[in-house]
Amino acid sequence: MRVLEDDLFPSTPGKVKIERAGTMNRQLHRCFASTSTMFLWALFLVAMTASYLSFQSFVDTSSKYFAASWGGLHWERQIRASAAPRRPPGSAAGAGMSVLVTGAAGFVGTHCSLALRKRGDGVVGIDNFNAYYDPSLKKARKALLSSHGVFVVEGDINDGRLLAKLFDVVPFTHVLHLAAQAGVRYAMENPASYVHSNIAGLVTLLEACKDADPQPAIVWASSSSVYGLNDKVPFSERDRTDQPASLYAATKKAGEEITHTYNHIYGLSITGLRFFTVYGPWGRPDMAYFSFTRNILQGKPITVYRGKDHVDLARDFTYIDDIVKGCLGSLDTAGKSTGTGGKKRGPAPYRIFNLGNTSPVTVPNLVSILEKHLRVKAKKNVVEMPGNGDVPFTHANISLAREQLGYKPTTNLDVGLKKFVKWYLSYYGYTRGSKNFRQ
Ligand SMILES: NC(=O)c1ccc[n+]([C@@H]2O[C@H](COP(=O)([O-])OP(=O)(O)OC[C@H]3O[C@@H](n4cnc5c(N)ncnc54)[C@H](O)[C@@H]3O)[C@@H](O)[C@H]2O)c1
């Protein structure tokens, strides 16, 4: 205690005081110097740890989305071969295009890629094979594409480096952008996935397209869901689209605005297609016609939603082959993008088309058609539609697409579902009369 007091308070005033104070200052200074050195070291260590951790989390996040390995001479050769048009020389349809198809392992992406390949266009696909629905179905579609000479890169449209590399390797003439987080109800479970793919992914893709030289023309999938709560039917492209009923619809509507901006500022040629409930072989397991088929075959009940006042829900079901014709017609008629080096050189086309079937069918009617083709009676559980983003009906006016794309749907729901059921039974190894179908 005494020592402590002596050290802190000098017994006599004057020099000693000064000396003692100087000593104290020096001690304090040394002490402070060593403390500040320690403090600086500690700070340095904290900074190193923080930057290591943030690097790790960056690596984790990146690898989560961009885990696919790409690059290298062999990879580039595969990309070039897949992108090369193979139309016969002197073909009336011209030299052919090189199309980058996003979401190529998806339902619509697979059909469009095959159709482009079959007529001699070059196609490269990109897909992140996410697990929104069974990725083995996406892998099987990829295998189908590969057997037709279409290479699908496993990667995310948010990976700007990968996109830049693809445009570096191939001067794509067109982009058919179909990658998206689809589904209306899932948006309540995983809203971030819609922002990731439908907003952030779209912008990353548009940035890559605007930087590419030459700039490609872009055809992309919007959705009939942008008509939201509208009740004037049939839905026309001129109708208002500012009352979305789901986050999915809102991201598609945002996509229409975002693409407009890129058209306006950078001269990208844009065609937005509002698909109306697309169905068919290799379809999406999350859609009602698909899950109804699975449940009916397994003897499980199906839930049939009904609108207010017991009104049946209705959809303008559109067969996949008709949608494919609409997509290819859009690619064929898309005018060129006008920009170079990120600068617009003149006005470029901005178009929006409905691609529907023009004859809505109620859900109970859909179930009866499935029962007929499956030769099994459904166990129906009819319930009031919950407020989950679904709209009571859709109905397309397709006169604009008919006029400008020559779009003319030819497959009705009965014929289309017959083809779907045939594919379903064969894909899942179901033989009529036996219960041992695998899934
Ligand atoms: N099928 C329909 O009834 C329908 C109706 C309206 C609009 N659309 C739109 O048409 C397009 C195609 O739909 P679909 O039915 O083929 O759906 P799909 O889910 O089968 O195909 C989309 C594909 O995109 C991939 N993908 C998703 N996010 C990605 C990302 N960030 N990076 C790379 N790949 C990604 C998925 O893995 C999937 O394979 C989508 O844009 C969808 O919103 C479809």
Ligand 1 atom with the shortest distance to the CA of 220: 41
Any domain includes 160: yes
pTM of this structure: 0.86
From 132, 178, 226, give the residue whose CB has the most ligand 1 atoms within 8 Å, as the site to mutate: 178
CB contact at 8 A, 228 and 392: no
In the chain, the largest separation of any two C-alpha atoms, in whole Å, equals: 112
Any domain includes 37: no
Q: What would the two tokens of residue 312 be?
A: 């049946």
Any domain includes 399: yes
Q: HSE-up of 251 (CA within 13 Å, CB side)? A: 25
> Following CA atoms 279, 282, 288, 293 in sequence, which dihedral angle do they give, to the nearest 10 degrees?
120
Any domain includes 303: no
Cα separation, 142 vs 157, whole angstroms: 17
Any domain includes 326: yes
Q: Does the CB atom of residue 127 touch ligand 1 within 6 A?
A: yes
Ligand 1 atom with the shortest distance to the CA of 157: 32
145-162 burial by CB neighbour count: b if 16+ within 10 A, else e?
beeeebbbbbbbbbbbeb
CATH of residue 222: 3.40.50.720
Look up 248 and say whether it is catalytic: yes
CB contact at 8 A, 337 and 347: no
Cβ neighbours, 10 Å, residue 390:
17
Ligand 1 atom with the shortest distance to the CA of 135: 37
How big is the CA angle at 84 (ends 352 and 74), to the nearest 5 degrees?
A: 120
Identity of the residue numbered 331: L
Any domain includes 59: no
Determine which one of 248, 266, 319, 407 is catalytic: 248
Whole-number Å distance, alpha carbon 197 to ligand 1 midpoint, is 9
Whole-number Å distance, alpha carbon 37 to ligand 1 midpoint, is 57
Q: Write out the residue range of the structural domain in which residue 345 sits.
A: 70-86+93-279+319-355+393-409
Q: Does the CB atom of residue 180 touch ligand 1 within 6 A?
A: yes
Residue 334 phi/psi, 5-degree rounding, is -65, 125
How far apart, in Å, are the Cα atoms of 361 and each of 224, 282, 358, 364? 15, 21, 10, 9
> Following CA atoms 250, 194, 294, 101 in sequence, which dihedral angle do they give, to the nearest 10 degrees?
100
From 114, 126, 130, give the residue whose CB has the most ligand 1 atoms within 8 Å, as the site to mutate: 130
pLDDT at 35: 53
Nearest to 283 by CA among 293, 297, 273, 274: 293
Cα separation, 264 vs 244, whole angstroms: 24
CB contact at 8 A, 409 and 318: yes
CB contact at 8 A, 426 and 439: no
Any domain includes 310: no
Q: Tens digit of pLDDT per residue, the chain (439 long)?
A: 333 333 332 333 333 333 333 434 444 344 444 555 555 565 555 555 554 444 444 434 444 456 557 999 999 999 999 999 998 777 766 789 999 999 999 999 999 999 999 999 999 999 999 999 999 999 999 999 999 999 999 999 999 999 999 999 999 999 999 999 999 999 999 999 999 999 999 999 999 999 999 999 999 999 999 999 999 999 999 999 999 999 999 999 999 999 999 999 999 999 999 999 999 999 999 999 999 999 999 999 999 999 888 899 999 999 999 999 999 999 999 999 999 988 999 999 999 999 999 999 999 999 999 999 999 999 999 999 888 778 899 999 999 999 999 999 999 999 999 999 999 999 999 986 665 444 4
pLDDT at 45: 57
Residue 101 phi/psi, 5-degree rounding, is -105, 115
Q: Does the CB atom of residue 111 touch ligand 1 within 6 A?
A: no
Domain count, the chain: 1
Residue nearest to atom 37 of ligand 1 (CA): 129
Q: Does the CB atom of residue 109 touch ligand 1 within 6 A?
A: yes
Any domain includes 420: no
